[in-house]
Each structure stands twice: as C-alpha cells, then as structure tokens.
Amino acid sequence: MNPFPGQPSKDLASASSWLGRDMAPAWPAELLEHFCLRMSSQGMCVSRALMICDRRYALEQLAHAHNMADDALRMMAVQLFRHFEARQSGIAGLH
C-alpha cells in the first residue's frame, strides 16, 4: 500500500521503468546458462535477467562474445544470435 496517496509507489515506479525496455526474445534456457557461465570464465559478468529483458544489452553481450578469442563462446553467440533472428522474423523452432 502506498503511504503517499497521489504519488506512485516505489514498486510501481520500478516496474514502469522495465516497461519501456525493448524485450529480447526468450532464449533457450540451457544455451543461455552455458553462455553466461562461459562469459564469466572469460572475465565478463553477464546478467541473465538483462539478457531476457533488454534486447540492446543482449545484442551487445553477443557481440562481445563473438569478438573474443574463444571458439566455443563464439559458437554459442552465433547460436543465440540465430535464435534471436529467427524470433524476430517469426520463424519458429530453430533449435
């Protein structure tokens, strides 16, 4: 309950800030998990929540991964990007 009538609550203000974000597509959970762990092993902390909720953040992380000297990480980034492209174009089931 909001103690200050007429003013949005902190929870509502926080939730509304997420409403303006450009949502990324749902990623294959296991691939996203492996991607985040592999990025961590390379010294890059990746937020799963932001990968899901912020398209720009997700694409930036995929670009970082693609540019690293780690073939397995690069392959994961390519797979995730292909999934992203398929979801954006409406193509179903590209696993």
Q: Residue 18's pLDDT is what?
A: 47
Could you tell me if residue 51 is inside a domain? Answer: yes
Q: Residue 57's pLDDT is what?
A: 95
Q: Which amino acid is at 91?
A: I
Residue 73 near residue 65, CB atoms below 8 Å: yes
Could you tell me if residue 3 is inside a domain? Answer: no
Could you tell me if residue 5 is inside a domain? Answer: no
pTM higher than 0.85, yes or no? Answer: no
CA distance 53 to 13: 17
Q: Residue 86's pLDDT is what?
A: 85
Could you tell me if residue 30 is inside a domain? Answer: yes
Q: Residue 50: give the domain boundaries.
A: 22-88
Number of domains in the chain: 1
Q: Residue 37's pLDDT is what?
A: 96
Could you tell me if residue 27 is inside a domain? Answer: yes
CA 9 to chain centre: 27
Token pair 């995929």 in the structure block, residue: 62
Report residue 30 as tokens: 């296991």
Q: Residue 92's pLDDT is what?
A: 57
Q: Which residue has the higher pLDDT, 91 or 61?
A: 61
Burial class of 73 by CB neighbour count within 10 A (0 to 12, 13 to 18, 19+): buried
How does residue 27 score in pLDDT terms, banded at 50, 70 and 90? confident
Q: Residue 6's pLDDT is what?
A: 55
